[in-house]
Amino acid sequence: DMLKNEFTHYTRTHWMACAGQGRAGFRPKLGGLGGPGDGNQWTNGAVGNIVWTGVLLRDVLEKVGLKAEAEFVAWYGEDKSCSDEPGNAIKDEDSVISRGIDVPKALDEFTMLAFAMNGEDIPATHGYPLRLIAPGYLGAAQGKWLRRLWVRDQEHDGKKMTGWTYRMANQRFFPGNVTSKTHP
């Protein structure tokens, strides 16, 4: 309620997509790997246009005082990994996903803490009561069920931010020819 009462509300339409959209049909070819790709086996439907209402993350960070050495804004919520990798079972507390965004994106005029979706409270399946909205970033970087933000002086190293998980390649590649061996 504090966010709703103390900050200006903004309503904006943003397109959002899961990084795994269509993953069930992905079959890596390089190295004789026949797929499927790692992660949840989404088929279709993990994209949408949504009208979000909330407050700008920038306004919140300015109110609490952002220090010059701040580099990353990490978030913690109740979103848990659904993959079948060891330690990622939904029942494990350690499976809580913690990601983050760099400070320039956090201060962007479109990055918000949303409390409404399409004119109503955000449904539980989409992150009620509060969700981070970072347009242009994958859905996985837009935390659901937020419970904590942490301003850090380094890149965040939370769950789903390290190693091969959800990393961007440092060079261009064609779909189907990248593995953890070719792009560690």
> Please, is 170 exposed, middle or buried when counting C-beta atoms within 10 Å of its C-beta (0-12, 13-18, 19+)?
exposed
Measured over the CA atoms of residue 168, residue 18, residue 129 and residue 107, the dihedral's sign is: positive
The model's pLDDT over 22-78, given as tens digits with 9 standing for 90+, comes to 666 666 555 555 556 666 666 666 788 999 999 999 999 999 999 999 999 988 888
CB–CB of 149/74 below 8 Å?
A: yes
Q: What is the pLDDT of residue 58?
A: 98
> How many structural domains does the chain have?
1
- Domain for residue 162, yes or no? no
pLDDT tops 70 at residue 169? no
Q: Is 134 among the domain residues?
A: yes
Phi and psi torsions of 102, nearest 5° = -70, 160
C-beta of residue 18 within 8 angstroms of C-beta of residue 139: yes
In a domain, 177, yes or no: no
Structural domain contains residue 66: yes
Per-residue pLDDT of 126-166, as tens digits, reads 999 999 999 988 787 888 899 889 999 888 777 666 655 55
Strand order in 72-80's β-sheet? 96-102, 72-80, 148-152
Residue 83 lies in a domain: yes
CATH number of the domain to which 100 belongs: 3.90.420.10
pLDDT at 92 over 60: no
Cα gap 36→41, rounded to integer Å: 8
Give a yes or no: residue 47 inside a domain: yes
In sequence order, what are the residues at sequence separation of 6 or more whose Cβ sits closer than 8 angstroms to the Cβ of residue 163?
Answer: none
**Residue 9's Cα: distance from chain center in Å?**
22
Look at the pTM and tell me if it is higher than 0.85.
no
Full residue range of the structural domain in which residue 86 is found = 2-152
Specify the range with the lowest mean pLDDT, choosing from 75-79, 89-93, 96-100: 89-93
In the 8-state DSSP scheme, what is residue 115?
A: E
Give the helix/strand (H/E) hosting 5.
helix 2-6
C-alpha to C-alpha distance for 41 and 161, rounded to whole angstroms: 20
